[in-house]
Amino acid sequence: MKLTVIGCGYLGATHAACMAELGHDVLGVDVNPDKVARLSSGEVPFFEPGLGDILRRNISAGGLSFTTEADAAAAHGSVHFIGVGTPQRARGHAADTSYVESAVDALVPHLRGDHLIVGKSTVPVGTAASLARRISTLTAPDATVDLAWNPEFLREGYAVEDTLRPDRLVIGTDPDSDARAARAVLRDVYREIIDTGLPVIETDWSTAELVKVSANAFLATKISFINAISELCEIVGADVSTLADAIGHDKRIGRRFLNAGLGFGGGCLPKDIRAFEARAEELGAHGALRFLREVDTINMRRRSAMVELIAQVCPRELLGANIAVLGAAFKPESDDVRDSPALSVAGQLALRGASVTVFDPKANANSQRMYPMLGYADSAAEAAQDADVVAIATEWAQFVHMAPSELDPVVRSRVIVDGRRCLDPQSWRRAGWSYAALGGAVAT
Ligand code: UGA
């Protein structure tokens, strides 16, 4: 099938490449000429394992190309995915849907014949209904344009796998009209994946929009739940990691997303829970999602708790101390530093007068743009040169498997703070290090 994907950021570029991988003829559209040029030459503008390979393979095979021209999208095919960003507004917590609206404004007037627009962006509930009204005012007399909402659940770092082997497919359509045609088109697009036995949930626009934000809100709540419990564990000397293992064995709870530590960041969970609560208030569901504020508060508190823990174990005053922060990305296997807990900790330490040196295997360049006042190193050992404290802020495998002997010769004090509870405390303690984990004791 001939598909277009409008918006070639994280979501759109991945979707475009993966749809081409499924055998479709895909045209990616983005207003940013630099992004289009890089993608066209087979370069992924961000770090995402495996994406470069499928991008280049499908460009060479002729099934994937990119353009800045909206009218080219209209001429290319009849199914148009919208994967543009919906960032938090500059003021307040609501989501800014203006890029989604601009995408529709740029595309729809060029359409002739029958088309289906498929929203993939994370949007406040009610967006599809208002977009449908917008679409109908822009549609030419000789065109019919249908709208479906098909949220995306991919995780950064696993974007290709999550797109090609998702847990479920959600298709939301107009509740007031016959949705059979739109559903059939999307079933055709995803045929190869659906045939593997994938659950397909066919529903209305609002439910589809809500599924996405509810899933992210639930995941955020799980993380803040375990982090709140860790605050208690810290006081009584209990081990929150063992506790998470124990409650996680209950299948109703599950062990995933119960890793206590520095908490969640990135371009999705923090902004999505804020926008979700704001939307609930707007719709008159006063107080229904107020608990998400607490989820947010618990999460933000982890960052200052990490700074306090570092201050506590640091053999000298923070003012003038050398702190190595290992990790800058909001999570491993990503170079994304948006709302990164690691960088928030590094920034707070610097504001308290510490001399902070950061090392991240992939995110140094992005961090440097955002936090130019921090020091940057090209390896963990270089960051740890003369360090009074080494702090693990992102659980990259290379930090998890790092031997204390790699840092022994360079540090000023053998003090390590594990903000992600990912190290083996025994091996560090045996090597003569003082080991402290955010969230309290680690079982020995
Ligand atoms: C999240 C969701 O997991 C995806 O399903 C969703 O599609 C995506 O947002 C989105 O809305 O686009 P992502 O932001 O890539 O994906 O990252 P996650 O893997 O969810 O991690 C989010 C944050 O939670 C990270 O900072 C991670 O370190 C933290 N986390 C995760 C914990 O602190 N503890 C855990 O147990 C798990």
Q: pLDDT (tens digit, 9 = 90+) per residue, 159-205? A: 999 999 999 999 999 999 999 999 999 999 999 999 999 999 999 99
Å from CA of 21 to ligand 1 middle: 25
Å from CA of 328 to ligand 1 middle: 15
Confirm if 79 and 109 have CB atoms less than 8 A apart: no
Q: Which atom of ligand 1 is nearest to the CA of 223?
A: 34
Q: Where, residue-wise, is CATH 3.40.50.720 in the chain?
A: 2-198, 202-444
Give residue 91's pLDDT. 86
Atom 9 of ligand 1 has which residue's CA nearest to it?
Answer: 268
Distance separating alpha carbons of residues 281 and 379, to the nearest angstrom = 47
Best residue among 213, 331, 343 to mutate for probing ligand 1's pocket (most ligand atoms within 8 Å of CB) is: 331
pLDDT digits (tens, 9 = 90+) for 73-129: 999 999 999 999 998 888 888 899 999 999 999 999 999 999 999 999 999 999 999
Å from CA of 307 to ligand 1 middle: 22
pLDDT digits (tens, 9 = 90+) for 406-438: 999 999 999 999 999 999 999 999 999 999 999
Q: Which atom of ligand 1 is nearest to the CA of 341?
A: 26
Best residue among 243, 268, 395, 396 to mutate for probing ligand 1's pocket (most ligand atoms within 8 Å of CB) is: 268
- Pocket residues for ligand 1 (CB within 6 Å)? 122, 152-156, 216, 219, 223, 257-259, 261, 263-266, 268-269, 330-331
Q: How far is CA 298 from CA 21, 231, 270, in A?
A: 41, 10, 12
Average pLDDT value over all residues in the chain: 97
| Percent of the chain's residues with pLDDT above 90 | 96
Give residue 37's pLDDT. 98
Å from CA of 351 to ligand 1 middle: 27
Please enumerate in sequence order all residues whose Cβ is within 8 A of that of 369, keeping only pairs 6 or more positions apart, or say none.
none
Confirm if 66 and 30 have CB atoms less than 8 A apart: yes
18 catalytically annotated? no
Q: Which atom of ligand 1 is nearest to the CA of 265?
A: 26
| Percent of the chain's residues with pLDDT above 70 | 100
Atom 33 of ligand 1 has which residue's CA nearest to it?
Answer: 263
Best residue among 150, 156, 302, 395 to mutate for probing ligand 1's pocket (most ligand atoms within 8 Å of CB) is: 156
In the predicted structure, residue 443 carries a pLDDT above the cut 70? no
Å from CA of 152 to ligand 1 middle: 13
CA dihedral defined by 279, 284, 288, 290, rounded to 10 degrees?
60
The catalytic position among 8, 233, 268, 422 is 268
Confirm if 346 and 358 have CB atoms less than 8 A apart: yes
End-to-end CA distance of the chain: 57
Alpha-helical runs (H) found in 191-257: 191-194, 205-236, 240-248
Interface confidence, given as ipTM, is: 0.98
Which CATH code fits 202-444?
3.40.50.720
One CATH from 3.40.640.10, 3.40.50.720, 3.30.70.141, 1.20.120.350 for 2-198 = 3.40.50.720
Å from CA of 257 to ligand 1 middle: 8
Distance separating alpha carbons of residues 153 and 169, to the nearest angstrom = 9
Give residue 124's pLDDT. 96
The 8-class DSSP code of residue 30 comes to: -
CA dihedral defined by 438, 220, 369, 316, rounded to 10 degrees?
-10
Atom 23 of ligand 1 has which residue's CA nearest to it?
Answer: 264
Instruction: Output b/e per residue, 403-418; b: 16+ Cβ within 10 A.
Output: ebeebeebbebbbbbb
